[in-house]
Structure 1
Amino acid sequence: MEKEIIALLIKRDFLGLEQFIDLLGSDIVKCIRALLNHPEEITYRKEAENEVFYRIWQKIASYDADKSSLKTWSLTITRNICLDKKRAIIRAQNIIPMEQLPESPLVDDYFEKENFLDLLQNLSEEDQLIFLKYYYYQDTPSEIAKELTMDVTQVYNHLSRGRKKIKELFDPNI
């Protein structure tokens, strides 16, 4: 079946493209949906789908059955197109990836740090440590739990109770 579809595609027969879409179209669409999954990317799915089928139509002569299956080859093309599309969307929206942000963009101001530390004095020592690690050093709850040899749910409970206590300082009616 695959060999017949490939032969038709190489001859530029649209019947081959129809059969290819019947055979692998749903897998390609699933791959596109998985990769272009953010709200701002959803509108680009159809464009990516068209580009994938066009690229396969153009590049089918370079397909080598000894190196991979038709499905693997097609999904690799799909993945690469989606990643290119994702990068273009990010560039167009001037989104800075998290790993490229400055070290501590949230606490650059000295007074913000002082206010934060003043608020922490109202918490227990353990809660202070967890708050510092989570909000100041931006450690993940799992990292904090591992370091303090406690369960991740306990870290979340400490954070929740600490936030509640700090809110009560501002509005005792809570």
Structure 2
Amino acid sequence: MAARYTYTEQELTSLLKSNDRAAFEYLYDHYSSALYGIIVKIVKDEERACDAMQDTFLKIWKNIGSYNAEKGTLFTWILNIARNTAIDKLRVEVKKEKVVKLESVRDGDLSPATIFNPLPATIDLRSIVERLLPERKLLIEMVYFQGYTHEEVSERLSLPLGTVKSRIRKALQELRQVFEVDTPEAIFA
């Protein structure tokens, strides 16, 4: 059988869903440069971009069964996978950079002026959360005390994801006001 050099999107999708190796090679040959361009713009590092690219195609291979042509084109679907994979890769790197090594803080570095002593009234976070509006309180409890993701909360409460995120953002703004310190001198008083 002669090698086939073009596929319609429907043919390509069907072959990919049946784990056809030639279709996957075709997908890589025709879409990898566009995906790599997006990935490298996000992660800004060629080595991480290569890792993200490999992870992207593994995810495509493993999850092609979940692709639904009614929701968008194949290219849009794989582009979203590439973008999300690159963002995840970037988040992991940022978290690694923000890790504080506790051994790096010596006892001599700590003085009474550098230690934050919260007011006793602000210590019980749950009682402060209780004062929020009921719909905000529930969301904060689910996300921060019970460990649900925003998406899981959205599904469990049958609320749009945007509504969940905006209510959580407003609740966090209210909570920030409770812990806000007006001037640096107030910390050391």
1:23 Cα shift? 2.3
Residue 72 of structure 1 aligns with an amino acid whose one-letter code is T
2:82 is the counterpart of 1:75: no
Q: Which runs of 5+ in 1 are unaligned?
A: 97-174
1:22 Cα shift? 2.1
SS of equivalent to 2:82: helix
1:13 Cα shift? 1.3
TM-score by length of 1: 0.50
2:95 is the counterpart of 1:88: no
SS of equivalent to 1:66: helix
Match of 2:27 among 20, 27, 32: 20
- Listed one character per residue, the Cα deviations across residues 76-114 of structure 1 (whole Å, up to 9, x for unaligned) are 111111111000001112279xxxxxxxxxxxxxxxxxx
- Listed one character per residue, the Cα deviations across residues 23-79 of structure 1 (whole Å, up to 9, x for unaligned) are 211111111111111xxx432111100000010001111111111111111111111
Aligned positions of 1:18-167 closer than 5 A: 18-37=25-44, 41-94=45-98
Match of 1:10 among 10, 17, 36: 17
Residue 25 of structure 1 aligns with an amino acid whose one-letter code is S
Q: Counterpart of 1:148? A: none
Where in structure 1 do 4 or more consecutive aligned residues deviate above 6 Å?
none
Q: Which runs of 5+ in 2 are unaligned?
A: 1-7, 101-189
CA RMSD, 1 decimal: 1.6
Identity of aligned residues (%): 30
Residue 30 of structure 1 aligns with an amino acid whose one-letter code is G
Greater C-alpha Rg: 1
TM-score by length of 2: 0.47
SS of equivalent to 1:52: helix
Q: Residues of 2 paired with 1:72 and 1:81: CA distance?
A: 14
